[in-house]
Structure formats: C-alpha cells, structure tokens
Structure 1
C-alpha cells in the first residue's frame, strides 16, 4: 500500500536496525502500551520483528503490523498496527509509532489514513485510537484523522486513556 510520500509494507527481519530507532527510542517507548517491553539492541528488535512476522498470517484482516518507509529514499520512518483492544478483543485499535527525528512531518496522519481506508474495505464499521491524556501528539493525529473523541476510560490496558473513534465516510 502506498501514499504520495510513503510505502506501507510488511515488516522484514532486515528492518531491525532501523526499527530500533523507532521502538527503542525512549521518547517513543514512553507512550507505548504498558505491555510493551523495552527494546535495547538490534538482536532484541529482530526478535520482536520475528514474532510480528510469524504471527501475521494468523491475524484476521484488518489486523496486522506494517513498516512505514519513505518512497523517496526507502528510509524506515515508523510502524503501524491494527489490533484488537484488550480486554474483550472486540474493538479494533489503530496504533502508530515514528522515529522522533521525523515527528511533525505528517507521516503518522498520512499512513494512518491509508491503513484505515484499507481497514474499512475489509468490512469493519469503526476503529479506535487510545492515548494517554498528556500525549498531545497522538491526540492531534487522531483529530487530524477526523476521529471523534468518545471519552476517557480505564477499560483498556488498565490505565486512564482518551478514546477516539473513526467510522467510514
């Protein structure tokens, strides 16, 4: 899948070093879900990618995990996922994470628009994004995507989160 500036593709083991710049960055890991375990080196990141790649075929679309690369130079700038939210695994969650040095360039919004458009074509009726109340960047992306704020809850991940919802159209 692609946009004007980005290519959204499956993860590869060879992405480990560049993926570490995303998921190993403290300023990114700080905002990830509590179940996320810190990734401190390329071997650990390769293990995470291996798990993501191996689990991919078992996920029911639109669930999945993808790498985001720039079309102009092939640089990996981040990752996206669509997954079922805990605890009941009934609602789909959109997540994104970008390298800190590319924040503010619209990549999260652009990639998320593409993946949500694809997800809706898979037949889902809504998708959610959750963010800690002080995660202003994530909240801004959710709003740019046209997501509607539906409230605050402790239902997901056992922590207070802002909940945003997007429906087709």
Structure 2
C-alpha cells in the first residue's frame, strides 16, 4: 500500500495525500459535493451543495469542527500527488441515531472514478484509525450503490447485513476490524 505516515497533518500513500480541508479547496470540493452523480448516494445529512460560496461555508464548518473531534473522527481531502488535484473526500463520523458506531465514508469526483483512489485512501485512513484505540469501523451503502459496495470490499470490509437503523434508509452495512487489516497484510 505504500508508505503511510501518522495522521499529524496528513497521510501519504503511493499516489495520494489525505489531508485536512483548506478554505481554498471550495472549487475542488464543489466538483465532488456539487455533483448529482455523487450526492444522490450520500446520506440525508449531506445534500448536494449549490455553488462555490455554499461549498466554502460547508468547508469552513468542517475546518472549524476538526480540532474538536475525538480522533479518529474527522473529514479530509484526498489529493492526487502527481498534480496536486483534490479528487475526493474521506470522513469518519458517528452514525446516527445512537452515535456509537463509527462510519468510514468516501466521495470522489466522477472523473476520478475507476482509478482505485477511494480504496487506496480508505485503506490508509483505516490503518491510521486503528492506531486511535478503536476496534471497528463501519461503512453503509444503499443496496444499489454498487460502486460504494465494491470499494468497501476492496478496503477489506466485510458485509454484515442490511438495516434501516441508520438514517432511516435501507442500507447495506460493512465492517472492518484491526484483525481484518492484519490478515490483509500477510
């Protein structure tokens, strides 16, 4: 998977940097969170962002919240090292309604799909997250979101069932534990 550093400011993989969002990322973030092909799959907590000004407000909220989040929670930009382009976002947050389970989420701009960026960045974030005294991460996907389901599996997550407990939507649930990542690296 390449060299992964601790999440002080960023994680690096062979092709990507996972870093904190910056205010000047608004245009790049809008190419992810302002696109129906991406946002139609997001949970009701995150709708499609209308324009760059609105995206700037969302980013500012994420940036302000980040220092107060208990690791491994947070939101990060995924930047391609070859050209410095922000191609996606990653997050780890508490799943509603009980706020006990931690959700790993990923979003890529459509022109970056199919290159393995989500699974590469996701694996790096999972590896770092398991240094933060947690014992599992979940991902949820709508049953017909085949891209997200495929990414969850490539990250090494196992399907654990279907539920409507999260977001009051029927969701496929995937989980990964530290022992799963140890088995992958053998």
TM-score interval w.r.t. the shorter chain?
over 0.9
- 1:87 and 2:122 correspond: no
User: If the length of structure 1 is used for normalisation, what is the TM-score?
Assistant: 0.99
| 2:40 aligned residue | 30
1:72-151 alignment runs, 5 A limit: 72-151=82-161
| 1:56 aligned residue | 66
Alpha-carbon separation, structure 2, partners of 1:23 and 1:40 = 9
Alpha-carbon separation, structure 2, partners of 1:99 and 1:144 = 19
Q: Runs of 5+ in structure 2 lacking a partner?
A: 1-10
SS at match of 1:121: coil
Highest RCO, 1 vs 2 (Cα 8 Å, sep ≥ 6): 1
- 1:14 and 2:24 correspond: yes
Structure 1 residue 37: deviation in Å?
A: 2.6
RMSD between aligned alpha carbons?
A: 0.6
Structure 1 residue 58: deviation in Å?
A: 1.1
Alpha-carbon separation, structure 2, partners of 1:29 and 1:3 = 26
| 2:163 aligned residue | 153
Counterpart selection for 1:45 from 32, 55, 61: 55
1:62-73 alignment runs, 5 A limit: 62-73=72-83
Q: Is the 8 A contact 2:35 2:48 kept in 1?
A: no
- 1:5 and 2:12 correspond: no
User: If the length of structure 2 is used for normalisation, what is the TM-score?
Assistant: 0.90
4+ residue stretches of structure 1 with deviation over 3 A?
none
Query: What is the number of equivalent residue pairs in this alignment?
Result: 169
